[in-house]
Amino acid sequence: MLDRLRNTFVTGLLIFIPLATTIFIVYWAVTAVEDLLKPLLSKSPYYFPGLSIAILLGTVLALGVIGTHTIGQKIILRLENTLRKIPLIRTVYTGVREAMRALLTSDVERLKGVVLVEYPRRGVYAIGFTSGSKIDSAERVTGKRLVNVFIPTSPNPTSGLVILVPEDELIYLDISVEEAMKIVISGGFSGT
């Protein structure tokens, strides 16, 4: 009974913390943008509460349109190259960009399947996630079809390591990425 209560509580935390964090971040971002742009826009006869958010969304959409065209991509690449030459800005920009790329990449693109792989030695199994990418030069050198497997650490699955495993040595599990993440985050206390 106590184990069931603990598992239920952990599951509740896994639902509550990301949800509360998301709501807080969205609220903070909306409030910050409104506070920043309201003094400039409130003098306009067309001002209404939320106009700054509409302008921000329009700006993001316009940048998206520019970034999907060849000329826009070249301009953005030049801007990024310039930013990478400035020491402090390079660190902040690169970190934020990679974090956003990780957040906006869907699980399907990032993680293709859940596998068991013998790691760190034979007879011991680790949960891993296969990715859609492959390293051609590693396959040429080994002469084997290798699969990139990300082995997350517990309880923080955003860190871990990538190992290359011959495809025939992988054991595919019939569970979702979300179910496997629950197991990893809970340190194995939450099973499916």
Residue 105 has pLDDT above 70, yes or no: no
Of the three residues 104, 138, 163, the one that is the final residue of a domain is: 104
pTM of the model: 0.45
**Which residues, including other chains, have CB under 8 Å from residue 183's CB and lie 6 or more apart?**
127, 190, 191, 192
* Pairwise CA distance, residues 192 & 184, whole Å: 12
Order of strands, sheet of 171-172, starting from the edge strand that comes earlier in the sequence: 160-166, 146-152, 125-130, 113-118, 171-172
Q: Are residues 7 and 79 in the same domain?
A: yes
Q: Could you tell me if 26 and 70 lie in one domain?
A: yes
Tens-digit pLDDT profile for residues 48-102: 877 777 887 888 888 888 888 888 788 888 888 888 888 888 787 777 777 666 6
- Whether residues 48 and 7 share a domain: the answer is yes
Question: Could you tell me the CA-to-CA distances from 47 to 31, 42, 62, 106 in Å, in that order?
Answer: 16, 5, 21, 36
Per the structure, how many domains does the chain have?
2
